[in-house]
Structure 1
């Protein structure tokens, strides 16, 4: 299997993110968390502490202790810090935070973030929710909290952190060329309430000012366009390869096939041509903000 094919298979939707529990399909992550859990258990037993006593000393439930030691739950950094202190491990347990950090986010999100970190160009059209790279933490949290069945607070916190970590793409040097087209309706939906919504719009205006970002709005009054079937996303890499996906083409599966990529690029180009210009888009968001 080629690298491009692997990347294509890993391109996933932002709604596919699992929760706080260890991803059962992440073999490497499972191994890391199992090793961390085993070390915690051995240290606890060597200190002569029962799980119940250890839980009390840490301020967590006994069930969580067993899950972490059994490699079924990812420990937070503060958990490892506290465990190191209680067990007198001299920093050895706290040092495992670096290993845990590598698997703290869901595998699918890590794969997506790795692809975004490699991309020299990224083009996205979305019609259902503001793209994850453009979301504020408060906006992302409101979206996750609206899911049904509901996520736990731990799951929401982990997914918000994972989504915000992907925004490192804006700090890369050299900067990748980023292009976004969002439907007007997304900008008018007051996700999280008026204050969260206003801050989200202000953030979009800030991002739109970046020299490597092209931001456009698709007016609701616009005629039908190639994006009405769903999200389109195309990532291009420095070695000349690319991967893309469209919810309305190729059964929604990621593709690295040159012919299919040309179709996606054609559709995205038409969408950009029908959308407001970047300058008009900024003026439109300012207008929406001024209406409140």
Structure 2
């Protein structure tokens, strides 16, 4: 099952939800800045912190920018490593509440699947037309939403991109789930945007270089 881009606007964020969504985004950005400040005070790089908490350097960067939701295990581990004195651990309940509120960021037709995906113990997907959402970079997702018809507003695009990036937290949760994807070999499409198109995928059987995580496998199929 791949990500589907619907044609209507009925599933987009309603105006009355905009304030709540802005509050959620602001909260995650503020929490990310706190983690960044504490990390820098401790004299650690993103790579060094990530290696000790089971995250990649890119993932720590996404958390610090407020693009990726920090898991409770990360907050506890970072609190201890960075000598935060409980400043990060105490935010766990607030993070869970923000995550519940943020679920409305997904289009209505996708919310049930997003809920199942977040709780899955295994997910196996075949996609012949697009890179699956869990493998997309932020720039690639933004490019796809920017080409959607009918056009989306910049506000809705940013909400959708943030929601798609937040889905990827399932890749680092504990206990680990098993993920595998079978997709067409990546190549710049005719008339596409090479700057945001993913690079070559690993050869069949290798783990995705994008994540370097256990139990995540990408198997490209040559045309």
The structure 1 residue matched to 2:18, chosen from 74, 77, 93, is 74
Report the Cα offset of residue 200 of structure 1. Answer: 8.5
SS in 2 for 1:125: strand
Mapped contact 1:182–1:216 kept (Cα < 8 A): yes
Given that 2:2 and 2:126 are in contact with CA atoms closer than 8 Å, whether structure 1 keeps it comes out as no
CA distance in 2, matches of 1:164, 1:196: 15
- Alpha carbons 2:181, 2:217 under 8 Å: kept: yes
Q: 1:195 to 1:105 in 2, by over 3 A?
A: same
Query: Which runs of 5 or more residues in structure 1 are unaligned?
Result: 1-10, 23-66, 82-94, 221-292
In 1, Cα distance between equivalents of 2:106 and 2:198: 28
1:216 and 1:101, CA in 2 relative to 1: closer, same or farther beyond 3 A?
closer
Cα deviation for residue 171 of structure 1 reads: 1.0
RMSD of aligned residue pairs (Cα, Å): 3.5
Corresponding residue for residue 196 of structure 1 = 196
Q: 1:210 is matched with which residue: 199, 210, 213?
A: 213
Q: Which has the larger radius of gyration?
A: 1
Q: Taking structure 1 as reference, are residues 197 and 103 closer, same or farther at Cα in structure 2, changes over 3 Å only?
A: closer
Aligned length: 146
Say if 1:162 and 1:200 are closer, same or farther in 2 by CA, change over 3 A: farther
> Kindly tell me: are residues 189 and 201 of structure 1, through their superposed partners in 2, closer, same or farther at Cα, counting changes over 3 Å?
farther
Question: In structure 1, how many angstroms separate the alpha carbons of the residues matched to 2:209 and 2:190?
Answer: 16
The TM-score with structure 1 as length reference comes to 0.42
Give the deviation of 1:191 after TM superposition.
8.8
> 1:78-117 to 2 correspondence within 5 Å?
78=23, 98=98, 100-117=101-118
Whether the aligned pair in 2 keeps the contact of 1:139 and 1:191 (CA below 8 Å) is no
State how far apart, in whole Å, the 2-side matches of 1:79 and 1:133 are: 21
In structure 2, the partner of 1:257 is none
What are the ranges of 5 or more consecutive residues in structure 2 without an aligned counterpart? 27-93, 203-207
2:178 corresponds in structure 1 to 177
Determine the C-alpha separation between the residues in 2 that align with 1:173 and 1:191: 41
Shift of 1:156: 1.0
Give the Cα–Cα distance (whole angstroms) in 2 for the partners of residues 100 and 139 of structure 1: 25
What pairs with 1:24-35 in structure 2 (closer than 5 Å)? none
The reply on whether 1:21 has 2:7 as its aligned counterpart is no
CA distance in 1, matches of 2:142, 2:190: 13
